[in-house]
Each structure stands twice: as C-alpha cells, then as structure tokens.
Chains A and B, each alone.
Chain A
Amino acid sequence: MPPAAPQARPAGRFPKLGRRIVVFFVALLVIVQGIAAFLVIQANSQVARRTINQQLEQGERVFRQLLAQNQARLEQGAGILSADFAFRQAIASNDTGTILSVLRNHGARVGANVMTLASLDNTVRADTLDPARLGTPFAFPDLVKAAASEGKSSSIVIRDGKLYQLVVVPVLAPEPIAWVGLAFEVDDAVAKDLHQLTGLEVTFASRVGPAQAWRLHASTLATALRPELAAELAASPALWAGNSGEISLGGEEYETRLAALEQRADKQVVAILQRPLAVGLAPFKRISVVFFWLTAAGLAVLVAGSLVIARGITRPVHRLADAARRVQQGDYTRHVDVEHRDEIGELAESFNHMLDGIVSREKEILRLAYEDGLSGLPNRAMFYEQLGQAVRIARRGGGNISVMLLDMDRFKAINDTLGHTVGDQALREVGARVRAALRDSDVVARLGGDEFGVLLATGDKEHAPLVVAEKIQRALEQPLVVGGQTMDVAASIGIARFPEHGEDADALLRAADVAMYEAKRTKTRYAVYSSSHDERRKEFLTMLGELRHAVEAGELELHFQPKMSLADERATSVEALVRWRHPKKGMVPPGDFIPFAEQTGYIGEITRWVLGRAIEQCGRWQANGSRVRMCVNVSARDLRQGEELVQFVAARLADAELAAGMLCLEITESALMEDPAIAQSTLRRLRELGVATSIDDYGTGYSSLAYIKQLAVNELKIDRGFVAGMEADQRNAAIVRSTIELGHNLGLTVVAEGVETEHELEELRRFGCDAAQGYLFARPMSAPAFERWLSGLRDEAGTRAGVAGA
C-alpha cells in the first residue's frame, strides 16, 4: 500500500484537554470565590451599614445627651444669672437703660448672644439685639408658661433666621417679677464641638413648613456641601421615618440620620448627623481587598497548578497522538517512550504493543497481498505496482523497459489429467525456472493461473527481450518431473516495450497480452507486440458482428462430405460442414471463423444452426430413401452445455422423425481434453439417447486410449496429419495402424480423415480401417450436389463390380 498522504496536524494545536482542565478548575474557583465574594461583600456591606447605623444611632444618643447637657448648663447659668442680686436689683430698677446694660453685661457672663426681658404679662421690656421689639409681646409665650411651672424652660428657636437655644428663667424677687430669655446661638462652633464629641458630621437645619425649603444654620460640613445637603434633605422624605439613609454629597456617600429637635407644623428643626460611608466601610474595604488578593493569588496558583497537571496528562497524550499519526502515515519504526508508571504509561505500553502487532500483521498482509502463495513469486498486484514504478522511473530517466507475459500452452490438460497438485507443482517449477533464467533486478511474478509476468528493467543487448524470451524458452525445454511424472511444457510469450508499445502499465500489459495471443495463435512461442495485432483484433471484432449477421441472414450453408465404408465402398455417413457465403468476401473457409466463434462463445449458435439443418437434411434424405448417417462437429463449449444440448438434439431428431442412431456427433480430441468430466457425462447422455459419437482429429491431443475407453464414444477419426504422412514416413503408418488396431480392440469404428491417394486407401484397407473420408472420394458438396454425387455413385456401383450399391 502506498503511504497515505500525511494528514496535517490541526493548526494551532493548543492542548485542548489541558485547556479544559484549566478552564474547569479556574471556572470552579471563580464561581466559588465569586459566590463567597458576593456573600462576603453583601454581609460586609450589611454589617457595615448596620454598624454605621448603630454608630449613628449611638451618635444621636450622645448628641442628644450633649444637647441636653448643654441645655442644662445654659439653664443653670441662666438660673444663677437671674438670681444675681445686682441683676435683680437692676431689673427692679425699671430703668430701661440700666436693664439693657445689665442684660448685656450678665448675658456676656454666660455667653448668651441675645438677652430679652419680658414682663410678667409677656411684654418685651428689653432686648439686647433688637430695640424695636420693646413693648411687643414676647415671641415665645410657651416657654414662659413652662418656666412658670418648672422654674425654667428652654427650646431651640429660630429668630431672625438664626437658630438659638433659648432659655427662659424668671427674675425672682423672690417671686417672679419678670422673665428673662437668654438666647445662645447654635452656630458652626457648637456643631464643631458636637462633632468632636460624637465623631459625626453635625448640621442644624430648619424649615418653617413641610413644603418650605430647608435652611442650614450650622454645620461641620464644608460650605460648598451645605446647599447640596439642603436639597438632598428635601428629596429624601424617607429619612423622616427615623431611619438612616444614604445621601451623596460632593460625590461622597454619607450615612445620614435626622434627629428632630422641634417638630411642629410651622417649625421643624433637625440636627443632621452624618458619617461618610467610606469611613465606615473602610475596615470592610480592607477585608474585601484582602479577599480579592487571596482570590487572585489562589487563581494564579490554581492556573499554574492545573497547567502543570494538565501538561502532565496532555504531553504524554500528545506524544501518543503523534505516534498514532506516524503510524497512520505508515511509520512503524518509533516506539513511544514510557516515562511514568501511571495510566498513561500503561496506555503508551499498550500502544507500543499494538504498534508491534500492526507491524507484524502489516508485514503478513503485505506478504499476502503482494506475494503469490503458490509460487512464492510476487503476485499480479505487486507486479502491477512495480511495473508502474518502473514506468515512472523510466519516464523520468528516459530508460526503456520491457514487459513479458508468459502463458503456458495446454496447461489445463496437465491440471485435468494429472490433478491440481501436480499442476501446482508444475507451475512452481516453471516459476522457479523462469526466475532462475533472469537477473535479480528483473521481476518475475505469477499473475494468476498459468500466466507469468516478467519485467525487464534494463535494455542492453545481452538482455534484450528477445534474447531473454529465448532464454526462457530454453529453460522450459527440459521436461518437468513432478511427482515421478515427466511432462513437456511450453509457453507463449508476449513482449511489449516501453515506451513504444505503451505509455503506462496498463497499456504495456495489454500490448504484451495481445502479443502473447499472437504468439499462441501463430505458435511462434514468442512475439513482440505490433500494432497489426491490434488490427487483427479489430478484424475479429468486425467478424463477430458479421458472423451474427450471417446466422440471422442465412449466409451460412451446409456442405457435406461423405465417409466411405472401405468394406463396400459405400457412403455410409456424411459429415456436415458449415460454410459462410460472405456477401463481399465470397466463401469463407471454416478455419477463418470457427476458431474465432469458439473463442467468443458464438460457436453455440452456429452449432445449433448446423445441428438443426443437418438433422433436417438427414430426415429429408431418409424420406427420399437415402439412409446416410449425419455427422456434426460439436465443440468443447457445446459439450459444456450438457443436458441442454442433449435436449436440443432429442427435440430436433423428433421433429425430423429421425432415429437417434442416424446422428453422429464429432468431438475433437483436444475439446474432450479441455473439460473431461463434463464431456464424459454429456457423451454418456447422448449415448443413452442413441446418438453416435466420434472423436475427431484423434492423435493431436494427448489423450490416452485408456481415457478414450472411459468415454462413451463409437468412433475414432484419425487425424489427417497421420494419414497424409503415411507415404513418407513409416512411423506415421505404424501409428495409424496401431491406432486402428487399438480402436478395434476397444470396440470402436476407426475412420481415416484426409485420404487423398489410392496408396493411402490401399494401406488403410490393409490395416483394416473401417471407413475413410477425403478428396479421393469427394470434396464437401452442397446438398443437391451431394444428392447428385450419391446417385452417381449408385449408378457407378451398378456398373462397377465390387462397389456396393445403396
């Protein structure tokens, strides 16, 4: 087998298995870590928010406490202030100037920003900030009322757009004689103090109605962020539910909580407590960062690890795959290295064993495929292969090569008579002889059956094909001795040369084949191909068509040649001979178309035609009173039809109302030898029918009389070659004589063919031959001519003594 074209390795061959392993593990880790990260981050963020919320709530509590403490401090201060005797004295003086100045003075002592004095009937008696309020009702009667019952009161109030912690205390003398309001502004400083204590961003804001805008009074936030916060407050009503919420200020998230300080329809004051989320989330961010790096590091280690593992798996697998590919390409030389004692190592070992198995089996297959089992020579396939190779080389190198086809002559006879075992041994011997006759560089192959092929690689003079053919023929001249039997063999050799007889192996073989048949046909033992052979072949083909036409168009006709009984010189039987009256070529002799018909198998048609006509004629003659037995030639091929032939004959005889004994079928000896078993059985069936049988051309075949004895025949016809040679060679006469005697001994009638001279006739008479046929008596004639000849013979018999009448 030619090595298969190397299959291209898949391009960009990345270790797919490895990739799958890596991808699987990486995906697994990513998914697991992703889920973990999701949970951790979510938990973190929840915890962070909760923590921040808690911080805020705690901050609010601290804030409120601080606020309360602050308030208490202010109230206390106010209480002490209002109890100051000088203060009370000044108030009691009822002098507005004095009152104002003492308010300012004592207010400064406790850090109040605004001091207001109101009479018991809630009329402002003095105000350190706004003299216009003098005589107007005090703006915070509720506080006065609370102070009346509690001794003091305070509240967050808005005054002139500013936020104050207002403390109202009575001026006691020792009964309340007036109310003094001390207002402490809630400003950025206050917010900052609270921020330092709580750690929260603190903003105070107010609005005068639910739909009104928030106004920021004090804050620890940067000034730029404050308007933003005011806007966010309005936009986040959810914060009013007491929950914490997130507010984005200046791009930063703040967890925000509102602490309501005043909740009235017309006045809402809140403290906004905030903590930047980033600050609260920072610890959780750190956890996330650590988690991220852990994941990244784990991923890297995993990728590296799984790559190593994958390599460990895929590299040996790739080596195996490469090895398998090499095997596919026909390279069995390299084993796979077994590196590890693991599963893959086992696989590699099994692979190597498999490789050894393939190598040995392939050798055997090659041997079987390319070697002829019988002779040990290369077979047809190998021969064809080498011929093709030689042709390719010759085509490139311009050398010339020759092909010979050698076919044994009549080898079938050996097989049939001596058995296949002997035949096979004979073939082996022939192969060995041919092989021995050639150079080592030449190829000798058995192409099948009894056909051998020879390929001559060089074309020098001593090794010219004709010389070689001669050499082979000489080698075959010596008789073969097989199994104690000696036999002669002969072969026909066809020779074709490259490049003149064929450009390729097929053409060369065909040419050699044609030449070989030519050699057989011409019996020249060997022949070099010539294009005329092809023309002859063409003629054959043309002839086949014409022959068909001839049968259908009635161009065939029967001629008859009598067989003379030597005892009484009477025509006892007649041989029907087919003639072809070709419309253009005229009369075609049987030798020109019968062998052809036999070769092509068309003989069957012709035989039937002849049989039909001959029996019909015989019947007519019998009806006319002329009893002559009709002899018809049948070929080996006809005999092979067996029962079919028997039935046909029986039917024709019945049609012609002719007794079976009036028909004799003549079979050539060589035909009998072609397929003795079938011939034997068919002959027996014919004999049973009553048809007489005759062996034609006896002496040309190699049949022994012992074989003839087995055959159900009535008659032997001695080949004309022996008869014609009798006069010149006494040996031929002896053969004729002994044949006649032997035939008689076997109970057969003996007929001599081709009798042309009186001498021959005399001799045959002397030998006791029963009948003779030949030009001496009559040439083959048409039916009417034969009838005339027959009647003439009768007339002659009437006049000539010793000649028997009809």
Chain B
Amino acid sequence: MTAILDIKGLDKFFGGVKAIQNFSVELPEFGIYGLIGPNGAGKTTIFNTITGIYRPTGGSIRLQGRELVGKQPFQVANLGVGRTFQNIRLFTQLSVAENVFIACQSDADYNLLGALTRLGGFRAKEARLREKSLYLLDYMGLSQVAEAKAGSLPYGHQRKLEIARALALNPRLLLLDEPAAGMNGDESRELVDFIFRLHAEFKLSILMIEHHMDVVMKLCQHITVLNFGLTIADGTPAQITRDPGVIEAYLGREEQPC
C-alpha cells in the first residue's frame, strides 16, 4: 500500500518554543491512524502545518508524493485534504444547509461571467451543488435541521456538521481534531461506527487526534504518542498500551508504595 500522507522529520518552532520536533508518520491509503498525547503536546500544531496554516521550520509533508510545505491552506484543501477543528469553526450565523452548500464551492464550474449573467447552465450547476449538499446532510442525519442556524445546534450535531462540510471537498485525506470531544460513552460508540462507515463509503484515509482512548483503540490501526512536541512512542494500539513511557506520560502510572 502506498502512503497517502508521508511526513518526515517535521519541526515547528515558535521562537524558542519547540512545538514539534522530528515528527514522522506514514499513513497508508485507506488507513486510520491516531495522534494522542496530553494537551499542548503539539497535535493540533501538526494538523495546522499539514494544512498550511503554519509553515514548518523543517521537514517535509507529502500528500501522495506531492510536497505540501509552502502551500496555502486553500491549496492544501483543494488537493483533497479535509479537516475539522478542535474549537468548532462553523459558519455559525448561516444555516446548516448553507454551511455545507458553501463547502461545495470547489465543484462549482462556472465563472464570474456565468454567475453575473446566469448564462451557461448556471442554474443547472447550482442545482447539482444543492443536491450534493442535501445528500451529505441526509447522510449525516442532519436534514431535519437543515434550515436551523448552525450555531444553534447541539454540540454533537455541530461536530457532525463540521465533518459533513469537510466531506463536501471530496477529500482523500480527512484530518479529525478531537471528533469525540464532549461526548459520553454511548455517543462515542456511535461515533466509532459512524467513522467506520464514513471510511468505507467515502474511501477515506483518516488521521485523527483524540483523547477518548476507547475511540482511538477501536478505530486506529496505528497510534503515535506525543509529549511536549516529541514522539515518545508509536505502534499498534496493543503496543503502545504496554509502552512504559506512554503509560507514565499519558495513561497514568500506579502509585508506588513507599
């Protein structure tokens, strides 16, 4: 299996703060990999460097062989990388449907003149975009609330909407930043099934940041553990649960008797 995402020796320093040091991962096509670690370990920073929000201090990021470093965020998105954000960034004042409709914009193949004059099959093209967004909403189970303001949805639905929006890009790689945040046990189990379905239906490769260990263990074939920007372990879920370094830093160590 070829690697869809190949990161080698990624560094990101903010002045004296070494947010990421020498991070590497090879995500195979259709793989689901996880990034875990305490808060501030650098996980979201890695996402931000992949998507071009930050420029890495060193290292390379390749998407199916193509170098992403130096690209603008919108270029990375158009190359097929969809993402969700840790602090949900929906277009809160717009409706649920509009949120997804906007995200379909890369499929809109009319130009300014077409938009201004409404000629050249404009209406048909817009109709296709509408169909697509409605389909995605239906898939996510959000069609009932399509006209509600995105900001008024309950938290779990907002997260689903963010995923729907990311899917509108026809992504090959999906970056999920704490998709299970704020969910209870039942909701997390639902989410795991949901992500498995997404993965199969949309033929995605997924890299996820998550704190819910049960979600990570069930979904991910491979997990990288970060702490203070350094990779302290990586391997299968079974391997990392047994790794003493991981246990000490993240999973918790038993108290030693005096």
| A, B bound | no
B residues at A contact (CB < 8 Å): none
